[in-house]
Structure 1
Amino acid sequence: MNAQPETPVIPDAPIIVFDAMCVLCSSNAQFILKYDRKQYFFLASMQEAVGEALYRRNGIDPNNPETLIVVDGDKVLRNSDAVLEIYTRIGWPWKIMGLFRLVPRALRDPVYRLIARNRYRLFGQRDSCWLPTPEQKARVL
């Protein structure tokens, strides 16, 4: 009997999908877990089943992504929109970052994509995926 791969359980809450091998991305994930006091977001690394499934569902190759995404039901945010949504939602004083939405996406996204494409070279790559602490584990899928 062939075992079917288990379909990942995806909660009905906003999920940030990020690269857990990237030093910048995993540091950002830790920052979110620390300062998202209302526990608005769940996090999923692209290297795990839930993150991989969400990337694939949204047409992103999890082996070569150039964006993190925020998935909230049918709504998916990418690039600078995703980052601004995160910082707006985690509260003060980071909420002030929402003012960058006044900058046209046509200017914000190329800067975001330049950093994303060069994230390993600029910030480094981990030898293994970042793992949450036991206290953080409930919010990381």
Structure 2
Amino acid sequence: MTNWPDDDVILYDGVCVFCSRWVQFVIARDTAKRFRFTPIQSPYGTRLAQAFGIDPRDPDTNAVIHAGRAHLKSDAALTVLSNLPGWGWTRALFAVPKPLRNAVYGVVARNRYRIFGKFESCFVPDAELRRRVLE
């Protein structure tokens, strides 16, 4: 595993409507403002993606760096959710076999633009959020 100097960073597809809504979902519930965000289309996000073997031109996963480790696909989503206030119960979903979790994740990831749409450019955060975005 590649080490990364920053922790609690969520890498997401900045032009994906679903992915941007995921970021907004996390922001609304992350009362401690623990997580920071980087779109894969930013220079920082591209470097992060490449370090973890994600193609920044055709990303098939989001990722989160947590406790010094990179988590991908369903592990990333569950890691983030389980660290939000009131969402600790989602840790139980780690008991679902990873191949099954990732298969479901993959169906959504492959069809996200078709189902949810795509922005012409990256989601632009407001001033409050901008302090938590790494570019």
Q: What is the TM-score normalised by the length of structure 2?
A: 0.91
- Runs of 4+ in structure 1 over 3 Å off: none
Q: Tell me what 2:112 maps to.
A: 119
Q: CA deviation at 1:73?
A: 6.1
Q: CA deviation at 1:18?
A: 0.1
Residues 100-134 of structure 1, C-alpha deviations (whole Å, 9 max, x = no match): 11111111001101110110001111122101110
Question: Superposition pairs for residues 95-106 of structure 1, below 5 Å?
Answer: 95-106=88-99
Q: Which has the larger radius of gyration?
A: 1
Q: Tell me what 2:62 maps to.
A: 68
Instruction: Give, as a single letter, the amino acid of the residue that structure 2 aligns with 1:129.
Output: C
Distance 1:91 1:73, change over 3 A: closer
Q: CA deviation at 1:74?
A: 4.2
Instruction: Give, as a single letter, the amino acid of the residue that structure 1 aligns with 2:126.
Output: T
Instruction: Give, as a single letter, the amino acid of the residue that structure 1 aligns with 2:19.
Output: C
- Give me the whole-angstrom Cα distance separating, in 2, the residues matched to 1:22 and 1:118: 11
**Correspondent of 1:59 among 40, 50, 53:** 53
Instruction: Give, as a single letter, the amino acid of the residue that structure 2 aligns with 1:139.
Output: R
Instruction: Give, as a single letter, the amino acid of the residue that structure 2 aligns with 1:118.
Output: N
Aligned residues: 131
Q: CA RMSD in A?
A: 1.4
- Give me the whole-angstrom Cα distance separating, in 2, the residues matched to 1:122 and 1:12: 32
Instruction: Give, as a single letter, the amino acid of the residue that structure 1 aligns with 2:53.
Output: G
Q: Tell me what 1:137 maps to.
A: 130
- Give me the whole-angstrom Cα distance separating, in 1, the residues matched to 2:99 and 2:68: 23
Residues 70-120 of structure 1, C-alpha deviations (whole Å, 9 max, x = no match): 12364110010000000001120x222222111111110011011101100
Identity level (%)? 37
Structure 2 contact 6–65 (Cα < 8 Å) conserved = no
Gaps of 5+ in 2: none
Gaps of 5+ in 1: 1-9
Structure 1 contact 13–40 (Cα < 8 Å) conserved = no
- Give me the whole-angstrom Cα distance separating, in 2, the residues matched to 1:129 and 1:65: 14
- Give me the whole-angstrom Cα distance separating, in 2, the residues matched to 1:66 and 1:16: 14
